[in-house]
Amino acid sequence: MLRISDDIAIEDWELTEVFSRSSGPGGQNVNKVSTAVDLRFEAARSPNLPAPVKTRLKRLAGRRWTADGAVLIRVEDTRSQARNREIARERLAELVKKALVAPKKRRPTRPTLGSQRRRLKAKKERGEIKSLRGRVTGED
């Protein structure tokens, strides 16, 4: 079980790990040992996640969200399979934690009367400066 917060935990049946050969450094070991981890989390079928969290998770996951509603995380950072498993689970937990935070509603505000007046005054001053840049008439 992967605990996300006090009230949300991901059960083991919701996670699937597939190991494959990793690219990158490792010498001859890289051709023999399957150290890369593909962690699959069945997010759409998860009973522990509320619907709004699933929606936010889908948006945050982006390309990692599959057509059948699963989140795929691939980790091949280290040469150790166990460490890659830990990193994958940490990344999944981080993603779900971000999805748990509901965005604040934006309240539209209006500019104050003073800020409007300051803006118009600055525009008028700028316009006067630019109007003085015209062609100079020669009075000799």
* Contact of 8 with 49, CB cutoff 8 Å: yes
Closest to 2 measured CA to CA, from 98, 100, 96 = 96
> What stretches of 5-134 show up as alpha helix (H) in DSSP?
51-61, 81-100, 113-131
Domains and CATH numbers, the chain: 2-100 (3.30.160.20)
* SS3 label, residue 11: coil
Q: What is the pLDDT of residues 6-49, one digit of tens each?
A: 778 887 788 889 998 887 766 777 778 888 899 999 888 888 88
User: What 8-state DSSP symbol labels residue 65?
Assistant: B
User: Exposed, middle or buried, 57 (CB in 10 Å: 0-12/13-18/19+)?
Assistant: buried
Q: How far is CA 58 from CA 41, 64, 70, 89, in A?
A: 12, 9, 9, 17
Q: What is the pLDDT of residues 105-126, one digit of tens each?
A: 999 999 999 999 999 999 999 9
Q: What is the pLDDT of residues 44-101, one digit of tens each?
A: 888 888 899 899 999 999 999 999 989 999 998 888 889 999 999 999 999 999 998 8
Q: Look up residue 54 and give its amino acid.
A: K
Q: How confident is the model at residue 140 (pLDDT cuts 50, 70, 90)?
A: low
Which tokens hold the place of 27? 């010498």
Looking at the whole model, is its pTM more than 0.75?
no
